[in-house]
Amino acid sequence: MNYSRISLIALLLLSVCFGNSFGQIVLPAPSPTATFSQKVGLTDVTINYSRPSKKGRTIFGDLVPYGKLWRTGANMATKLTFSDDVKIGGKDLPAGTYALFTIPGESEWTVIFNKNVNQGGTGDYKESEDALRITVKSIKIPENIETLLLNLEDVKPTSAVIELAWESTIVHIPLEVNVDEQIMASIKQSMTISPNTYQQAALYYQQSGKDLNQALEWMNKAVQMYEAEGSNVFWVYRQKSLLQADMKKYSDAIVTAKISLEKAKEAKNDDYVKMNTESIAEWSKK
């Protein structure tokens, strides 16, 4: 019997059966993928990209030339998704997913949101598919950022900054979201549901610098409804006193703060006792 031939056949069969198990080696990606998500106002913003590292190289002006289109990352196109219509640099951008391209410069960058998200590199890029272009300043920093970073900073209820940082360069892309229409529609639809709705509507008006008289009217309705339920809402009285102080109605604010103080004592909440005591002392000097 030819044992060598039998052994060879057996080895080939094993290779066929288990080739997939033993033939694949998983290695770390040189430019690993990352996903960053952030809610800005009521809008969900998601960034999907690959993160190349510097590895001792000169990036801007060399590996990434000035004045030429850059895919702004590695591998497939960097994607930004917005759940609602937004403004980028003051320009309208409809809700959706876009490929991010840039043209770096020594002091200014062109930032491009392109409709074709299924592309790698710049070979398939077409300017005719651009949804939006803006120009922004670049910032030089003394630190060295080893790996490309894309995220959102300076997040506020109606705005944020899309930040790109690599090597010693930072680029800020202004982002604005429109929450007023969504919130106002929600307020109108929900006004009779709960005192919390009136309270939240009042806080939104106060924090957004809108009609403070309207905010106070809603806050009073919230207080009345909470009182009717028999709830000890010392924190709502606290919010009302702060609203009155913003309206420069300091005498009224002191009266409300004293109610909040007594109710906070009943609830044994030392933090609110301290805050109300300090506010009463401060407003008494106005």
Give the model confidence (pLDDT) of 224-246 as tens digits: 999 888 889 999 999 999 999 99
Burial of 166 per CB tally in 10 Å (0-12, 13-18, 19+): buried
Long-range contacts of 251-256 (CB under 8 A, 24+ apart): 253/279, 253/283, 254/280, 254/283, 254/284
Is 212 part of any domain?
yes
Mean of pLDDT values over 243-270: 94
User: Is there a domain that residue 6 lies in?
Assistant: no
* 220: pLDDT strictly greater than 90: yes
Tell me which of 159, 177, 195 is where a domain ends.
Answer: 177
- What is the model's pLDDT at position 157? 85
Q: Are residues 172 and 184 in the same domain?
A: no
- In this prediction, residues 74-92 reach a mean pLDDT of 94
| Total count of domains within the chain | 2
Structural domain of 103: 33-177
Low-confidence winner among 60-74, 89-103, 121-135, 205-219 (lowest mean pLDDT): 205-219
Asked whether 235 and 222 are in contact (CB, 8 A), the reply is no
- Is the pLDDT at 30 greater than 90? The verdict is no
Handedness of CA 70, 72, 73, 79 (dihedral sign): negative
Boundary residue ending a domain (149, 177, 205): 177
Q: Does 114 share its domain with 230?
A: no
pTM listed for this prediction: 0.62
CA pair distance 276, 265, nearest whole angstrom: 11
Mean pLDDT of 25-36: 76
Q: Which single residue is written with the structure tokens 């806080």?
A: 203
Residue 22 lies in a domain: no
- Which of 48, 131, 128, 153 lies closest to 86 in space, CA to CA? 131
Q: What is the pLDDT of residue 190?
A: 58
From 177, 201, 220, give the residue that closes a domain.
Answer: 177
Co-location of 64 and 139 in the same domain: yes
- Per-residue model confidence (pLDDT) at position 128: 96
Q: Do 163 and 153 meet the contact criterion of CB atoms below 8 Å apart?
A: yes
Asked if 111 contacts 196 with a C-beta cutoff of 8 angstroms, the reply is: no
pLDDT band of 208, cuts 50, 70, 90: confident
Looking at the domain assignment, is residue 275 inside a domain? yes
Mean pLDDT of the chain: 88
Q: 26 in a domain, yes or no?
A: no
